[in-house]
Structure 1
Amino acid sequence: MSTDLDIVFAALADPTRRRILSMLLEDDMAVTDVAEPFEMSLAAISKHLTILTRAGLISQEKRGRVKWCKLEPDAMREASVWMQGFGQFEAINLDAFEKFLEKEFGPDPEA
C-alpha cells in the first residue's frame, strides 16, 4: 500500500473527519461553519482540517478574511480502487455449501 493511501485511510479513520467530509459534499464551507455543529474548539477542528488537507481530501483557501474548505473527491479515488479489489469475491451460497457438507460428511445429527 502506498504512503499516500496510508495517509488517506488514517484521515478517514476518525469519525469527526468523516463527518466533516460528509458536510463538504453539499458545498464549500467556511472553517467557522464547519466547526459549528461540533462540541470542540476551533483549534481542534483546525487540526482535523489540517489532517484532511495533508491527505488531499480537502483543500483550504483564504477568501478575504475567511478560510474556506472544499472537498477534493479525486483524492479518494486510489482508496476506492483499492477497496473495490475486495469486491471480486463472490458471496457464499449457503445452500450449496450445506449440500456440499452433507455430501462430504453426512447429514447434521443435530438438525
Structure 2
Amino acid sequence: MKVVDFMTLGQRIKQERIKQGISMNKLAKSVGIAQSGLSDLEAGKRQVSFETAIKLIEALGFKPNEFFSNKQPAQSPEIIQLIKSVEKLTPEQIEQLTKFIDSMTEK
C-alpha cells in the first residue's frame, strides 16, 4: 500500500522557499504581503486568498500545476533563481554576464 505524503500549502511553500535559499522576508515582499503573514501561512496558522497563493507559487518559479504535482519542475530551483536575476539586468549587463559565463565554461 502506497502512503500519500500530504502537505499543507504553507508547508509546501516553506519547503520550496528553503530549498531555493529564499528568505521569508524576500518572498513575502515579492508578493506584497507581510513577513508575519507568510510566517503564519507556513506554520498553518493562516490561510491566504487564491490570488496570493498563486503569487507565492509563481514567485517560487512554479506554474500552479507543477507546484501541486509530484513531478519536478522543468528547471531546477537554482536555474529558476538565475533566470529571475538575469531578467533584472540591462542588455549590456546580460552581454557581460554571457561573456563571463563563457569564460568559465571554456576548457
Question: Is the TM value for this pair above 0.5?
Answer: no
Larger radius of gyration: 1
TM-score range, shorter chain: under 0.3
Which of 1 and 2 has higher RCO (CA within 8 Å, sep 6+)? 1
What TM-score results when the alignment is normalised by the length of structure 2?
Answer: 0.27
Q: Which has the higher strand share?
A: 1
What TM-score results when the alignment is normalised by the length of structure 1?
Answer: 0.26
